[in-house]
Amino acid sequence: MPNFQLSGLQSRFLDLLLSSGALKFGNFKTKSGRTSPYFFNTGAFDHGEILHDVAACYAELIISKYPMANHLYGPAYKGITLAAATAVELNQRTKSEVSFTFNRKEAKDHGEGGMFVGRPLDSSRSILIIEDVMTGGTSIRETMNLLLPRKIPVLGVVIGVDRQERGTGDQLASLEVASQYGFPVSAILTIDDIVNALWSGGDSDGQGINRLGRIWIDADTKSRINEYRNEWGLVKA
pLDDT, residue 4, reads 74
Which among 217, 32, 59, 227 is positioned nearest to 133, based on CA atoms?
32
For 51-107, give the secondary structure using H, E and C. HHHHHHHHHHHHHHHCCCCCEEEECCCHHHHHHHHHHHHHHHHHCCCCEEEEEEEEE
Q: Which residues of the chain have pLDDT under 70?
A: 1-3, 106-113, 202-204, 235-237
Cα–Cα distance, 161 to 52 (Å, whole number): 18
pLDDT, residue 111, reads 44
Residue-wise pLDDT for 89-122, tens only, equals 999 999 999 999 999 876 655 445 478 999 999 9
Cα–Cα distance, 11 to 5 (Å, whole number): 9
Residue 167, exposed/middle/buried by CB under 10 A (0-12, 13-18, 19+)?
Answer: buried
What are the residue numbers of the active site?
108, 110
∠ CA 176-164-83 to the nearest 5 degrees?
A: 80
pLDDT, residue 203, reads 66
CA dihedral for 179, 55, 35, 205, sign (positive or negative): positive
All structural domains of the chain, each given as residue ranges with its CATH number in brackets, are: 8-232 (3.40.50.2020)
| Cα diameter, the chain | 62
pLDDT, residue 114, reads 77
Q: What is the mean pLDDT of the chain?
A: 91
Beta bridge partners of residue 219, listed in sequence order: none
Residues 6+ apart with CB under 8 A from 198: 208, 209, 211, 216, 217
pLDDT, residue 115, reads 87
pLDDT, residue 202, reads 67
pTM summary value: 0.92
Cα–Cα distance, 187 to 166 (Å, whole number): 16
pLDDT, residue 18, reads 98
Residue-wise pLDDT for 156-190, tens only, equals 999 999 999 998 888 899 999 999 999 999 999 99
Total count of residues recorded for the chain: 237
